[in-house]
Structure 1
């Protein structure tokens, strides 16, 4: 791992979970961690309910766009966190992989998306503590 760890969040559509996780990591980790996100089958746009849920906590992800997952993005990352993309994620030796089991916010109401958002925040906090020892 370089001086500045790189984290890649991956979900199927790169429209909900991975975008919220990237938003949290950018917000909580500042410029100490490089943040990326991608999807194995990217959607047309970020889930508007996820955008609303993040805006409620002061994090603006409106400018984000779903991006396609590439082998290069995985190779250039120190930590790859998958969220239900299954076998679509390429595996490279020496990378740290985690699979976060999270509900998909697609088609869910704001209450459900808030719960997912808050669970992601907790996991991101633990990830930061692990990547950036005090």
Structure 2
């Protein structure tokens, strides 16, 4: 059986897609090949995203936002876009999903509290996806 591959995509690849990739690495270990990218990558990983992940044992040190690599995209099994702003043209053989993650700032919640809520929303989705990729239900 081949190792399934997942590419998490958001616009800047500085926050939500980095969070999803880090959380998937933690949840699935070596059983899933994990990547992240942005449609318009920023210069750095969001500091509050990194801080919120450190609280749950995920270290983003050394991660940098990056664009979508067409060669990588051509061999990915699952493309997960986070938010409605990030779009990726469909490719044959890949499963595409969009996760419209919780956005606490729309309710006036900002800072680290916002990032924790975003992290928890993404973590629940990652756990469900990891379970599907392992062929288990939890």
Same fold (TM over 0.5): yes
Cα deviation digits, residues 15-49 of structure 1 (max 9, x gap): 00000000000011000000000000001000000
1:112 is paired with a residue whose SS is helix
How many residue pairs end up in the alignment?
Answer: 133
Aligned match of 2:35: 36
Q: Matches of 2:7 and 2:81 in 1, distance apart?
A: 8
Structure 1: segments with no counterpart, 5+ residues: none
2:96 is paired with a residue whose SS is strand
Runs of 4+ off more than 4 Å: 103-106
Moved more, 61-70 or 83-92: 83-92
Moved more, 114-123 or 70-79: 70-79
Structure 2: segments with no counterpart, 5+ residues: none
Aligned match of 2:131: 129
CA RMSD of aligned residues (A): 2.0
> Under a length normalisation based on structure 1, what TM-score does the superposition of the two structures give?
0.91
Aligned match of 1:59: 58
> Under a length normalisation based on structure 2, what TM-score does the superposition of the two structures give?
0.88
8 Å Cα contact 1:22-1:35 kept in structure 2: yes
Q: Matches of 2:9 and 2:34 in 1, distance apart?
A: 11
Q: Matches of 1:91 and 1:37 in 2, distance apart?
A: 16
Structure 1 residue 13, shift from structure 2 partner: 0.2
Counterparts of 1:24-103 in structure 2, within 5 Å, are 24-84=23-83, 86=85, 88-103=87-102
